[in-house]
A = this chain, B = another copy of it.
Amino acid sequence: MKLINYKQVKREKVEDPNSKNAFIRWVISDKDNAPNFAMRVFEIEPKGFTPYHKHNWEHEVFILEGKGVLVHEGKEYPFSSGDVIFIPGGENHQFKNNSSETLSFICLIPIQNKCIL
């Protein structure tokens, strides 16, 4: 069993050159012997964004704090705290913080994908 506050987990800069002001904490991963899926907490600072991209695995997202815009297949969808987002594999997506406050959300992926985003 593991019990930890997410802020105790190292905050790492997302290194993808198509991201900006984006940070990630791997709070549950294969390092914890999680067998099926990994939990990450993202923090996107004002004017920041994740890359606009697609991949063959899904995202399951819960917005913790702040607000932003999901770019999905070329359209924009605003979201805020308490929203849940499911992005199936193969669909283009990007999370943007167009507000003046930090945006934070949980994003889970299947654990067999040793990817960053």
Interface residues of A (CB under 8 A from B): 1-7, 9, 27-28, 32-37, 39, 58, 60, 62, 64, 70, 72-73, 77, 79, 82-89, 91, 93, 106, 108, 110
Contacts and interface: CB of A to CB of B under 8 A. Distances in A.
Contacts of A58: 34-36
A49 to B, nearest CB: 17
**Number of copies of this kind of chain in the complex:** 2
A12 B55 CA distance: 34
A110 B5 contact: no
Given A28-B60, A34-B60, A39-B62, 17 more contacts: A1-B73, A1-B85, A1-B88, A1-B93, A2-B84, A2-B85, A3-B70, A3-B84, A5-B84, A6-B83, A28-B86, A35-B89, A35-B110, A36-B37, A37-B110, A39-B84, A64-B64
